Amino acid sequence: MANYKIVLQYDGTRYKGWQILKDTELTIQGKLSAVLHRMAGHPVEVIGSGRTDAGVHALGQTANFHLEESRPVEEILSCLNRYLPEDIAVISAEEVDERFHSRYHAVEKTYLYRIHTGAIPNVFERRYLYDYSVPLDVERMREAASFLCGTHDFKSFCANKKMKKSTVRTIFRIEFEERPDELRIFYTGSGFLQGMVRILTGTLIEVGDGRRNPSELPAILEAGNREAAGYTAPACGLALLSVSYDK
């Protein structure tokens, strides 16, 4: 058995998300498994660093899978890129220790949320942007974000209301990048709950446009209730940027 780690990019627009669902549903994991099954001649389970929701993109999703027989990584890379649809690309592949697990061993993830703030639509990147033309006060958003950094119970920011496992996560940093016509928010943390980055973004937007005060954030965290937080920002603006592992 050989274990391979791959880094991939996808335009999530057409997909029902990362995780395999019924055969009739389009998923990233499903597409990868199908190509690898055909290549290897045996079923291949593709383990992702985490699930991305329907419509969410990735610039650096990481996954691993085992093959019964070892193959050159160049062959795996070219086979995947030849047979995957044009909205999924594998940017690197390497053989790794057989114990490597892309989900269990991930130590840090960064997500990027892109908000298009300009009045003129961006026709070329519209699939990767959330159009929000109400002016946003980034200083207020920064202040609100400061309450979110650190280790907290993020139950209020979890889309899965029946979540039974721990909802405690650590956010290492939230960074804002103001560009012409665009606000980018980078979230780096130990891991994120289902829908968490989109709910964090919706809540920060509500602070930025004046509907909420930055000082409300501690009480929202304290509530442990999805209703306390803001709306869920749309999937199209979100991308999984990178996943880090211990060296």
Q: Are 169 and 107 in contact (CB under 8 A)?
A: no
**Interface region with a copy of itself, contact rule CB under 8 A, candidates 87-95, 164-172, 191-199, 219-227:** 87-95
Strand 238-245 to 57-67 pairing: parallel
Shortest distance in whole angstroms from residue 126 CB to a copy of itself: 5
> Is 87 among the catalytic positions?
no
In the complex with a copy of itself, which residue's Cβ is closer, 12 or 230? Answer: 12
Tokens for 48, please give them.
Answer: 């992702």
Question: Is 242 an interacting residue with respect to a copy of itself (CB under 8 A)?
Answer: no
d(CA 55, CA 130): 12
* Helix/strand/coil percent split, the chain, to 5: 30, 30, 40
The one among 9, 19, 170, 190 contacting a copy of itself by CB under 8 A:
9
What part of residues 45-64 is at the interface with a copy of itself (CB under 8 A)? 57
Q: What is the CA radius of gyration of the chain?
A: 19
Question: What is the DSSP secondary structure assignment for residue 104, as one 8-state letter?
Answer: T
Question: Is 179 an interacting residue with respect to a copy of itself (CB under 8 A)?
Answer: no
Shortest distance in whole angstroms from residue 15 CB to a copy of itself: 12
Catalytic residue among 11, 53, 87, 246: 53
The one among 21, 38, 68, 91 contacting a copy of itself by CB under 8 A:
91
The one among 19, 33, 81, 190 contacting a copy of itself by CB under 8 A:
81
x/- string (CB under 8 A) for a copy of itself, residues 111-140? --------xxxxxxxx-x------------
How many chain residues bind a copy of itself (CB under 8 A)?
Answer: 21
**Interface region with a copy of itself, contact rule CB under 8 A, candidates 16-24, 83-91, 197-205, 224-232:** 83-91
d(CA 170, CA 61): 20
Q: Which long-range contacts (CB under 8 A, 24 or more apart) does 92-99 make?
A: 92/6, 92/7, 93/4, 93/5, 93/6, 93/7, 94/4, 94/5, 95/2, 95/3, 95/4, 95/5, 95/70, 96/3, 96/4, 96/5, 96/64, 97/3, 98/1, 98/2, 98/3, 98/66, 99/3
Angstrom distances, CA of residue 126 to CA of 150, 172, 183, 216, 244: 33, 29, 14, 32, 28
In the complex with a copy of itself, which residue's Cβ is closer, 70 or 78? Answer: 78
Question: Is 154 an interacting residue with respect to a copy of itself (CB under 8 A)?
Answer: no
**Interface region with a copy of itself, contact rule CB under 8 A, candidates 64-72, 82-90, 146-154, 210-218:** 82-90
Residues that bind a copy of itself (CB under 8 A): 9-11, 57, 78, 81, 86-91, 119-126, 128
Catalytic residues: 53
